[in-house]
Amino acid sequence: MIQYWLNWKSLIVLIALLIISGTIFYSNYLANKIKLDEKIKIEQWAEAVKSNATNLPMDTNLSSRILAENSTDIPIIVVTEKGKLLDSRNVDSIQLRDTNYLQKKIHSFAELHKPIEWKNPLDSTQKNIVYYGESHLLNEVRYYPVVQLAIMGLFLIILIIAQKTTYQNNQNQIWVGMAKETAHQLGTPVSSLQGWIEMLKEIPGTETIAHEIDKDAHRLLLITDRFGKIGSMPALEPTNLGLQIEQMVDYIKKRSGGQILFEIITPKEAIITQLSPALFDWAIENILKNALDAMEGKGKITIQIQLLHHQILIDITDTGKGINKYNLQSVFKPGFTTKKRGWGLGLTLTKRIIEQYHSGKIFVLYSQPGKGTTFRIILPNV
């Protein structure tokens, strides 16, 4: 998957960079060409204005045509050297009556282009100054690469999201298929085992053995039921959360050894919430088993339940070896495990059960190597 994704991403990014680089280069070339052309037009316009003002023996029709053609789009402001407005083109003439607005426009135009000056023909001691900005065409050409970059970025984001969604859907189909097949494979031998247990119970002196085997068979049925629920939205039912967790802790306690201490801290009032008992037990069981593995046979597990206004918090804390910081982002990913055996699917299933089936959240609230780990589950208080 990584090699596949890197190949696609590298190719798409390379093509995008080539397109954007070529567009930026060509747009800058066009912008500079348009900028030079506009400078020539303004110089011609200024000469035409000067010619009309001085009544030079210049072709009047040519002068008028230059004035008309060269000032259709470029913003122009003509002022005296003392800042008095003489003329303007393609600028809001009403706003130019405001001295502050006029000065701001002059300042902005002066930053873009060097102003053109000539002496007033009626007063040789006075200079007229032409300030000019940039046309809409030049601005469009200049900002076109930015627009294209935004479009290309949006395209890449959509493509990545689509690819990620497709990959997740494929993963989900694998999960569901594997779970359903596991439930199917377990169903037949468990049903047969229950039949043999009933026959065993009829034999005198086998009551204790039959009872223990029957408990294990029911456990296998529970596991089969859990796998069968993966891939379909399970029915949630009102459940006493504290009692449900206590039952799972009792089950784990019998299989954990005498050096593991368990503590459950719950509110005095019963917390009734919507759960799928079979799947929720599976999630708690996976966290508790991870805690037992982390403590290596000795330590303490504390489960604290807090009832807030709209949320229920469940903190499961162990005194195990903890999780390194660089592994915190990977604990819920398929295949992640620090054990020598196992597929690393327990916490992945737990996350799926809590978040997809119970509309909750699960994350590592705290972990420090050598000190322990706290997992927090947040369930909606409904």
Per-residue pLDDT reduced to its tens digit, 36-84: 877 777 777 767 666 665 554 444 444 444 445 555 678 888 888 787 8
Average pLDDT over residues 100-117: 84
Q: What is the pLDDT of residue 301?
A: 95
Residue found under tokens 């596949």: 4
Per-residue pLDDT reduced to its tens digit, 315-328: 999 999 888 888 88
Residue 371 confidence (pLDDT) above 80: yes
The answer to whether 367 touches 323, Cβ cutoff 8 Å, is: yes
* Tally of CB atoms within 10 A around 320: 23
CA angle, 245 as apex, 244 and 248 as ends, to 5°?
A: 95
What lies within 8 Å, CB to CB, of 221 at 6+ separation is 190
Residue 336: which pLDDT band, with cuts at 50, 70 and 90? low
Q: What is the pLDDT of residue 64?
A: 47
Per-residue pLDDT reduced to its tens digit, 228-248: 666 667 788 999 999 999 999
Q: What is the pLDDT of residue 118?
A: 72
Residue 181 confidence (pLDDT) above 70: no
Residue 378: which pLDDT band, with cuts at 50, 70 and 90? very high
**What pTM was computed for the model?**
0.53
Residue 366 confidence (pLDDT) above 60: yes
CA angle, 98 as apex, 96 and 100 as ends, to 5°?
A: 105
Q: How far does CA 226 lie from the centroid of its chain?
A: 31
Q: Where are the domains of the chain?
A: 2-133, 139-216, 235-380
* Tally of CB atoms within 10 A around 357: 19
At the fourth CATH level, the homologous superfamily of domain 235-380 is Histidine kinase-like ATPase, C-terminal domain (3.30.565.10)
